[in-house]
A and B are shown apart, each in its own frame.
Chain A
Amino acid sequence: MSRLGSPQELEALRQSLVQSRDPNRRCVTICGGTGCVALLSGDVIGAFREEMKERGLDSEVDLRVTGCRGFCERGPHVVIHPEGILYQRVKQKDVPEIVSETIVDGKTIDRLLYVDPASRQKAVHESEVPFYSKQYRLVLDGNARISPDSLEDYLAVGGYAAMQKALTSMSPLEVLEEVKKSGLRGRGGGGFPAGRKWETTRNAEGEPKYIICNCDEGDPGAFMDRSLMEGNPHSILEGMIIGAYAIGAHEGFIYVRNEYPLAVLHAETAIRQAVERGLLGDDILGTGFSCHIRINRGGGAFVCGESTALMASLEGKVGEPRAKYVHTSERGLWEKPTNLNNVETWANVPLIINNGSDWYRGIGTEGSKGTKIFSLVGKVNNTGLVEVPMGMTLREIVMDIGGGVPKGKRLKAVQTGGPSGGCIPESLLDTPVDFDELDRVGSMMGSGGMIVMDETNCMVDIAKYFISFLEGESCGKCVPCREGLKRMREILADITEGRGQEGDIERLERLSETLLDCALCGLGNTAPNPVLTTIRYFRDEYEAHIRDRRCPAGVCKALITYSIAETCPGCGLCVKVCPQGAITLVEKKKPVVLDQSKCIKCGACYDVCRLDAVVVK
């Protein structure tokens, strides 16, 4: 592969790529994101390769393995172009039929189409699926259109055009102004204006300056950064190079979670390709601007998503944060000015440069511009990644795009913002989702996790879950966080295990205040949020645990019992799975008998019963 020595050569290559690609040519795209891979899309891909080879179609039909398409719930996804027919939940054994029916004969296979659970209507194309039709996919758009390991694919859809524009027709200050004017705010959680951060690093004293892409996506329940890094790594590199140019940095780092092996692999490939082609490295496109980017893998510590801890880890030290009297944008990595942004923030930059800040400001709300990607998970019908303009209401996201709560259950709360966020009750579902509105209701945007909970989720248990998580992830450097979280977890454990006392709620509130005021870094400062919001909106549930020794949602083991309903037809399935032999079939076609003294409340019978005859109270 030859190096592109000038912007003209890049443009010529792009033109030839666009021309050589016939939009009407048959092409099968298969999702190769982590979610679909877990659902065995690898077998589907292999079966397509073999089947097409056997039928001699491999020269006529293109096969493209794309990044994550976001609708992981219905994976693996196969889309047949040019018609754009979407098949979902495709298995290896479906492949011969797809090839003979759809690819050769042009017929649609009904049983592989998506059926809208609400209207029972079948959707042939992606645009007819409500999950997709209400989204506004800007940042995620590339994921479905390109193969993440193909630079040519990225170039053919306009990749590196923004970088080319910035490096050749804009001064660094003009780029900076454009990003400032766009109103882009950091997507990693804080929501700090990206342009202002860039400016601080640019104006800070000290050389060299560094840029960092934070892909240490530690928030459990959020996976948009994984999806972007896996599915469209060049778009992130492009954003970073533009940022480096505006800031005056020549060296950058991508800090990726160790738990995301595919993201690491694709980022490595992208860097290698970009360097080979002269889009990254020394003298990019012959413009004289140089920028080098390296990958570092994290070590599985949540706190390393915090900027100062991340930088300590990059320096080869223990990932402990420091107090930010001096911001990292002025003194960060190796004491040098360092600009850190999250994956999604960087991925927005090429869009802003390509389309202009006025266009970007036209999307979103007064204080939050552009789109935001959410990972909609938990008790929701359509689980997956959702990109919408800022300001859409929670209700639209969860009910219209997410298709509501499965199995006719009642929605109880939506948890946003990861472990540092809060639980928003059903009554506030009409809250428009942007940085400021989520703060107002006591939660936060965070990195965009959105976990839907139904009536069978216990809010005290959820608070305990987050506090235990944060207790384990606290680095232990400052006392309020290390000791405060431990005490809070102990109190929550007492409440959920039937040892709750009057005054526990107040004790939790007092400890929360201490953490808010005194913890060293963002982890501790925001840690009480899940506790405070669940107390604020679900105080009665705490009181039921403490006063009545009762878990209304039927979750907390010490407070519940399993029993058999009279409707039980005695099928005996639960008898087979019970690890304790606590269930016996006394008489045929009569309810089974559960011996409470042997029951360990493992839930095996509950899971296996198809007739809701196992009751939890």
Chain B
Amino acid sequence: MTVNLERVREQVGAVLDRYGRDQGALVSVLQDVQGELGYLAREALVEVSNGLGVPLSRVYSVATFFRAFSLVPRGRHQINVCLGTACHVRGAVRVLESIERETGIKAGETSDDLRFSLDTVNCVGACALGPIVIVDGKYSGEMTVNDVRPLLDSYD
């Protein structure tokens, strides 16, 4: 994927201004940059590093420490499978395995056609409805292995 450097500069610049170029806001800055670009491109991290006066190594250490950040482009649809305890005891692992079979990707991966990115999360706090699968922010509760295909089929 090619990155439009001008546009990245512009977007990152706007985020940095919003936080007054405060070094302490590094985590928030990266969250907002990812929100704008969909992921943290190397070019964006360089911009953040220059803009905040923080060494690039530290920007990378923060960007790779927190699981909310992605350094590679994401798929069109983001699937999050909750593996919190409540979902786990209700069979979330079997649901995850089923999604992995259907999409052909493992948790943490993106499909080659960029249709899906699959991740696991450690509890979204909707434990009463477990097992939960979230696609593009939309929650589906009480999932079973057999609900997986119809759910995925509704996303192109």
- A453 cross-chain contacts in B, Cβ below 8 A: 89
A-B residue pairs in contact (CB < 8 Å), sample of 28: A35-B128, A35-B129, A39-B141, A218-B122, A218-B123, A220-B88, A221-B127, A222-B125, A260-B125, A299-B69, A316-B23, A316-B24, A316-B27, A317-B62, A318-B61, A377-B85, A377-B130, A378-B86, A379-B89, A451-B85, A451-B89, A465-B85, A475-B65, A579-B101, A602-B145, A603-B145, A604-B98, A604-B145
Number of A residues, CB within 8 Å of B: 61
Asked whether any CB of chain A lies closer than 8 Å to the CB of B50, the reply is: no
B 27-70 to A, binary, CB cutoff 8 A, 1 in contact else 0: 11011000000000000000000000010001001100111110
Bound CA span A377–B86, Å: 6
Bound CA span A318–B137, Å: 27
Given the known interface contacts A258-B31, A316-B27, the answer about A219 and B126 at a Cβ–Cβ threshold of 8 Å is no
Chain B: minimal CB distance from A251 (Å): 12
- A415 cross-chain contacts in B, Cβ below 8 A: 85
Nearest opposing residue in chain B for A230, CB measure: B125
B 76-104 to A, binary, CB cutoff 8 A, 1 in contact else 0: 00000001111011110010011001000
B-side interface residues toward A, CB under 8 Å? 23-28, 30-31, 54, 58, 61-62, 65-69, 83-86, 88-91, 94, 97-98, 101, 121-130, 132, 137, 139-141, 144-146
- B141 cross-chain contacts in A, Cβ below 8 A: 38-39
**Chain A CB within 10 Å, residue with most, of B122, B141, B146:** B122
Contact: A299 with B89, CB < 8 Å?
A: no
Contact: B86 with A608, CB < 8 Å?
A: no
Given the known interface contacts A221-B127, A300-B67, A383-B127, the answer about A378 and B85 at a Cβ–Cβ threshold of 8 Å is yes
Contact: A34 with B85, CB < 8 Å?
A: no
Given the known interface contacts A72-B128, A316-B62, A602-B98, the answer about A465 and B31 at a Cβ–Cβ threshold of 8 Å is no
Asked whether any CB of chain B lies closer than 8 Å to the CB of A384, the reply is: yes
Nearest opposing residue in chain B for A603, CB measure: B94
Contact: A220 with B85, CB < 8 Å?
A: yes
Nearest opposing residue in chain A for B58, CB measure: A317
Bound CA span A318–B65, Å: 6
Chain B: minimal CB distance from A420 (Å): 12
Nearest opposing residue in chain B for A316, CB measure: B26
A 428-472 to B, binary, CB cutoff 8 A, 1 in contact else 0: 000000000000000000000101010001000010011001000
Contact: A316 with B68, CB < 8 Å?
A: no
- A298 cross-chain contacts in B, Cβ below 8 A: 27, 66, 68
Contact: B127 with A34, CB < 8 Å?
A: no
- A222 cross-chain contacts in B, Cβ below 8 A: 123, 125
Bound CA span A419–B83, Å: 13
Chain B: minimal CB distance from A446 (Å): 11
Asked whether any CB of chain B lies closer than 8 Å to the CB of A426, the reply is: no
Q: Please give 18 more A-B residue pairs, beta carbons under 8 A apart, in addition to A38-B126, A220-B88, A299-B30.
A: A220-B85, A221-B86, A223-B127, A258-B68, A259-B124, A299-B62, A299-B66, A299-B67, A299-B68, A300-B66, A316-B25, A319-B66, A383-B128, A577-B145, A603-B91, A607-B144, A608-B144, A608-B146
A-side interface residues toward B, CB under 8 Å? 34-35, 37-39, 72-73, 75, 217-223, 226-227, 258-261, 296-302, 313-319, 375, 377-379, 383-384, 415, 418-419, 449, 451, 453, 457, 462, 465-466, 469, 473, 475, 577, 579, 602-604, 607-608
Contact: A451 with B26, CB < 8 Å?
A: no
- B137 cross-chain contacts in A, Cβ below 8 A: 261
Contact: A604 with B146, CB < 8 Å?
A: yes
Bound CA span A72–B139, Å: 14
- A223 cross-chain contacts in B, Cβ below 8 A: 123, 125-127
Contact: A607 with B146, CB < 8 Å?
A: yes
Bound CA span A548–B23, Å: 58
Chain A: minimal CB distance from B35 (Å): 10
- A457 cross-chain contacts in B, Cβ below 8 A: 89
Contact: B66 with A37, CB < 8 Å?
A: no
Bound CA span A75–B128, Å: 9
Nearest opposing residue in chain A for B139, CB measure: A38
- A72 cross-chain contacts in B, Cβ below 8 A: 126-129
Given the known interface contacts A38-B139, A39-B141, the answer about A259 and B123 at a Cβ–Cβ threshold of 8 Å is yes
**Chain A CB within 10 Å, residue with most, of B61, B69, B89, B124:** B89
Contact: A314 with B24, CB < 8 Å?
A: yes
- A302 cross-chain contacts in B, Cβ below 8 A: 122
Given the known interface contacts A319-B65, A602-B94, A607-B146, the answer about A377 and B128 at a Cβ–Cβ threshold of 8 Å is yes
Bound CA span A301–B121, Å: 10
- A37 cross-chain contacts in B, Cβ below 8 A: 139
Bound CA span A70–B59, Å: 40
Chain B: minimal CB distance from A210 (Å): 12
- B61 cross-chain contacts in A, Cβ below 8 A: 318
Chain B: minimal CB distance from A37 (Å): 7
Bound CA span A35–B126, Å: 5
- 3 A-B pairs with least C-beta separation: A299-B66, A72-B128, A223-B125
Nearest opposing residue in chain A for B59, CB measure: A316
- A379 cross-chain contacts in B, Cβ below 8 A: 89-90
Contact: B132 with A221, CB < 8 Å?
A: no
Chain B: minimal CB distance from A219 (Å): 7
Bound CA span A428–B94, Å: 31
- A473 cross-chain contacts in B, Cβ below 8 A: 122
Chain B: minimal CB distance from A551 (Å): 14
Bound CA span A75–B132, Å: 15
Chain B: minimal CB distance from A562 (Å): 12
- B25 cross-chain contacts in A, Cβ below 8 A: 316
Chain A: minimal CB distance from B19 (Å): 10
- A604 cross-chain contacts in B, Cβ below 8 A: 98, 145-146
Nearest opposing residue in chain B for A221, CB measure: B85
- B98 cross-chain contacts in A, Cβ below 8 A: 579, 602, 604
- A38 cross-chain contacts in B, Cβ below 8 A: 126, 129, 132, 139-141
Contact: A220 with B84, CB < 8 Å?
A: yes
Chain A: minimal CB distance from B102 (Å): 8
Contact: A602 with B97, CB < 8 Å?
A: yes
Nearest opposing residue in chain A for B80, CB measure: A259
Chain A: minimal CB distance from B26 (Å): 3
Bound CA span A227–B126, Å: 10
Contact: A378 with B89, CB < 8 Å?
A: yes
Contact: A220 with B123, CB < 8 Å?
A: yes
- B122 cross-chain contacts in A, Cβ below 8 A: 218, 220, 302, 469, 473
Contact: B145 with A378, CB < 8 Å?
A: no
Bound CA span A477–B85, Å: 25
Chain A: minimal CB distance from B119 (Å): 10
Bound CA span A247–B13, Å: 38
- B144 cross-chain contacts in A, Cβ below 8 A: 607-608
